[in-house]
Amino acid sequence: MLFPVSVLLSIAVVVVVDGGGRDSALPNCVGSPSTYQRRVGNLACPTEAVCADEWNTVRDWYNGTRCKEQRIIKHCSCPGNHDCPVGNETHAFYANKKHTQYLCEPRCRIDKCSTTYRAAMEMVQNSPEFQGHNFYRINCRCRGHHFPMDSRRGRLMRSTSYMRVRFNFTQSVTYTQYRCASEGPATNGLLAENDPCQPM
């Protein structure tokens, strides 16, 4: 069946906007929730902790109005009491196309994951390093951290996927661990020869 060109164009535009979340042609949402929130005061980040999460989505009111919505949640401050470098590509780890995590450490300072790495990312619960709070730690770089994955309809794609839970009974700390997520049968989610980082 043939569609008029205008219909095809509008379908294409919808797909691009929904997939990206950063479409510059859309206005920013008015009255978005506060952009910055500190979740647990101004604690210093543990090593390789995620210091902030950023979500860029498109809000659709289903009345013809759509707008760009950005949410940033900061978790901790970087060494020297510096602010988490939100928006700085050098420090960005893509969780997927709409969700970016930031570390105080530059991305290329972090090892790339290998098959022997214990976990690409872990949520550390009840951490003595973080005054008993929880935080996410990125131990190594996956392919998706550099080349953000796009969610498909009905399937959320992320650079990491759930692996297992570990307990340390000495410290009463729980580690919920994630491995690099595969995109398909051809890859295991690891960076092969296409590592954008130069050896440091």
Q: Which of 48, 50, 57, 85 binds ligand NAG (CB under 6 A)?
A: 85
What is the three-state SS of 100-135? EEEECCCHHHCCECCCCCCCCEEEEECCHHHCCCCE
Q: From residue 9 to residue 28, what is the string marking binding to ligand NAG with x (rule CB under 6 A)? A: --------------------
**Minimum CB distance to ligand NAG smaller for 3 or for 36:** 36
CB of 17 to ligand NAG, least distance (A): 16
CB of 5 to ligand NAG, least distance (A): 25
**Minimum CB distance to ligand NAG smaller for 57 or for 181:** 57
**Minimum CB distance to ligand NAG smaller for 55 or for 175:** 175
- The site that binds ligand NAG (CB under 6 A) totals a number of residues, namely 12
CB of 23 to ligand NAG, least distance (A): 18
Q: From residue 166 to residue 185, what is the string marking binding to ligand NAG with x (rule CB under 6 A)? A: --x-xx--------------
Of 42-81, binders to ligand NAG (CB under 6 A) are: 61, 63-65
- Counting Cα atoms < 13 Å in the Cβ hemisphere of 198 gives 1
**Minimum CB distance to ligand NAG smaller for 27 or for 185:** 27
What is the contact surface with ligand NAG in residues (CB under 6 A)?
61, 63-65, 85, 88, 90-91, 106, 168, 170-171
